[in-house]
Amino acid sequence: MTQNRLNRRTFVKGAGITGIAAVAGCLGSPTTEEPEPEPTDEGLAPAEPVDADRIARDPTDIPPPVDWDEPREHDITLETERVTAEIEPGVTFDFMTFGGQVPGPMVRVRRGDRVNLRFEVPEEMNMTLHNVDFHAVYGPGGGADATTITPGEKAAEISFTAEYAGAFIYHCAVPNMDHHISSGMFGTILVEPEEGLPEVDNEYYLGQHELYTDGKVGEEGHHGFDFDAMKREDPTYVVFNGQAYGLTEDGVGPMEAEVGETARVYFANGGPNLTSALHPIGNVWSNYYRDGDLLSEPDKNIETAPVTPGTTTVGEMEFHVPGPVKIVDHALSRVVHKGALAVVDVQGEENPEIYDEDPQ
């Protein structure tokens, strides 16, 4: 039995689910589509050398909360980057990213702030169209029309005012956007209300997306992109932050918290096709801001919530007892077989009045 299969068995057991059967954007722009690979029966090529130790963005890599009370101006640069990295041990894939990891960097501003965005495409990625569509932008294609960089161009610039508060996704929006988003080109822009957000002890940033490859789950080697599987909406992997089971003890490591603390999760579903059923195993979304709506009163004690493709949602948790809290897509075959699992490792003293696993 390979180490990959051993890891997968460990994840399933640890998830507490034993018994489970094992267009916005510039569609009118010119396009240079990537050629679809010819089918082959020769099996996968060997795994390729990786460009980075991890494709998964650190879920705590988040700009600090808004602490200003007057509009500010922000100069932000987003750069596309192609990265060969592991989906899981022994399985490599060529990702397309904003900034070298998945999801792209979080942009955090206050309503009324001005954003000067520079979008860059390096020469090695300049053979096809790229752009960026911000769902927080009033303007053609959410800025995608003006940021479309054709082969031979290197950069584009736009300025916009963040007119409406909320948590919003951004993504590449060229005609073959499904391929680019599936390969990792999406992220979140958070526009805080003027009064800011309630204080929490921890903030985490997760991005779910589907990987459509020409290999099987856990098959070692270099996985190419499978356009036919994407058209069928039949992904090989469904992952958080680009890696199968990456944010777990057996991956790059879980998120961390202490008993008595609170946490806010910003969860972007890049898609490009599947709706996520966001659920914290062993906890509840004590405050849930559906679809990233930060102005309405949050829903309370939500167990599982749908997150449609192209949406960033926001949920808060309270940690009353120690132990792992698993964050999953409750379409559970995606957890058991495809990689959609992350863990918050909660440390601290037991609280038997709330939970006692060994009552006498």
Averaged pLDDT in 10-residue chunks for the chain of 360 residues: 42 39 33 48 89 96 97 97 97 97 98 98 85 98 96 94 98 97 98 98 98 98 98 98 97 97 98 98 98 98 98 98 98 98 98 93
Closest CA to 26 of 149, 173, 137: 173
Cβ burial 265-285 (10 Å sphere, 16+ → b, else e): bbbbbbbbbbebbbbbbebbb
Identify the pLDDT of residue 236: 98
pLDDT for residue 41: 54
pLDDT of residue 344: 98
Count Cα atoms within 13 angstroms, Cβ side, for 346: 25
pLDDT at 34: 52
Please state the pTM of the whole predicted model: 0.90
The residue count for the chain: 360
Q: What is the pLDDT, as a whole number, of residue 229? A: 98
In this prediction, residue 126 carries a pLDDT of 77
